[in-house]
Amino acid sequence: MEKRVSNTQFKALIITGVVGVGVLSLPSSIARIANNDGWISIVMGGAISALLMYLMVSLAQMHPGKVVFEYARELLGNFGFYIFAVIYIIYFMMVLAVEVRVFAEVIKVFLLENTPIEVIIISMLVTSMWIGRYKIEVVARIALLMYTVLFIIIIFGVIAVFPQLDFTNIFPLFQTNLKTIIGGVRETFFSYLGIDFVLVSLAYLEEPKEAMHYSMRAILSVTILYVFAFVLTISTFGVSELKRQVWPTIALVREVDFPGFFLENIDGIIMAAWVLIIYGNIGPTAYNSTLVLSNIFKTKEHGLYVLPLVPIVYFISLFPQNLYEVYKNMLIPNILGFIITIIFPILLFILSKIKGRRTK
């Protein structure tokens, strides 16, 4: 297998794969559980993700040049592999559906009020899932591009909101007990989903030995981004108003108002850039899901599965009747994500250790 992904692209792939629509609602959903100490939950969630990442990278390094679905079949046998592959595919469908639905809801509220949500969803799905047709290097290049966009938005956003921050709103610190904070960690889980992509992308890495270093840096960046989002929103709104918000991160941008009519109502610009970030988030997930399918059916080409997936994701995404149900139904991808990102890698890791010892 060719080595086609550079380390920087690898890092960008992880970041864009993890940062999706979760960051929009994360600060308020955490504040609802852990109040002012939500950032501790975010940091703990990041630490757990780093541990999982360590496990996954070591697992992938044990099987150089192989994608997870290939060695999973060897380790688990055909039957076991099919069970996991089915869970995988359902999980990807659910994640894609949630992503695109929340994305469409946000776009409908802020940008395209009169456009039917179906149109927003289908046009986003068709354009972004198209990335899934291409090879990994294309996905990686797009990831790097979107990563740059994300970076620019963050810097621009932080500068724009800075004058109005009241950092005393972060206080009081350490008032929540450990149990609640751990409850908050569970809430951050959806926002950290997507790290499992290393199991695929690492196989194509130019220098797989460096992978650990870059993946840790990626997780660190994501954690810092989330902590930033939390601190900035809580400093702007205060904890009670933060809890009331559906999408505090966008509400934050709507607070921007520089004197003299110079800069206000910039939510449109940020929303437009936001489209690109979600684009970069859906792309790798779509690539992943087609890869699973091509491994199930043992086809060489994976691109042909994209088109059939679009209507399926479309229907799943339209299943919730309202925004409340969208967020309520997030439990399903969360449970599946738990299996995919925690149970599955641990199982594979143990099996490959046993197998490795046997072959010695």
Partner 1 sequence: MKRIIILFLIISIALLSGCWDMEEINNRSYVSVIGMDLNNKGDNGEKFKVTYSYPNINALGKNPSSEQNRFIETTSASTAYEATRKLSTSTDKPLFFKNLKTLVIGEELFKEKELVKEILDGLGREQRINRKINILLAEGKAEDILKITPEKETASAVGTYLSDILRNDKITGRFTARTLSQVLADTDISDAALVPKIKIEKKDLEISGGGIIKDYKLIGKIGEMENICIAMMNGDFNSDVIEATYNDTHISYAVTIFSSSKRVYVEGGKIIADIDLNIEGYLQQYKLDKELQAFDEKFLQGAEKSLEDRIKRETLNTIELLQKKYNADVIGIGEWISKFKPSLWKEIKDNYDEVFPNIEIRVNPTVEIRRTGLSR
Query: Which residues between 35 and 64 bind partner 1 (CB under 8 A)?
Result: none
57-67 burial code (b ≥16 CB/10 A, e <16): bebbeebeebb
Query: Which residues between 314 and 343 bind partner 1 (CB under 8 A)?
Result: none
Query: Which residues between 82 and 111 bind partner 1 (CB under 8 A)?
Result: 109-110
Residue 255 touching partner 1 (CB under 8 A): yes
Please select the residue that binds partner 1; options are 241, 271, 318, 355, rule is CB under 8 A. 241
Structure tokens given for 147: 């990563």
Which residues are registered as beta bridge partners of 264?
257
Nearest to 44 by CA among 171, 183, 175, 197: 183
* Residue placing its CB nearer to partner 1 in the complex, 169 or 329: 169
* Residue placing its CB nearer to partner 1 in the complex, 266 or 332: 266
Residue 172 touching partner 1 (CB under 8 A): yes
* Residue placing its CB nearer to partner 1 in the complex, 78 or 259: 259
How many other CB atoms are there within 10 angstroms of residue 159's CB atom?
A: 10
Contact 250, 237 (CB under 8 A): no
Among the candidate windows 5-13, 199-207, 256-264, 333-341, which touches partner 1 by CB under 8 A? Answer: 256-264
* Residue placing its CB nearer to partner 1 in the complex, 187 or 267: 267
* Residue placing its CB nearer to partner 1 in the complex, 97 or 170: 170
| Cα dihedral sign, 259-264-266-267 | positive
Contact 276, 149 (CB under 8 A): yes
Q: Measure the CA dihedral 48/70/207/13, to 10°.
A: -50
CB of 107 to partner 1, least distance (A): 12
Residue ranges that bind partner 1, judged by CB under 8 A: 109-110, 168-169, 171-172, 175, 236-238, 240-241, 244, 251, 254-255, 257, 259, 264-265
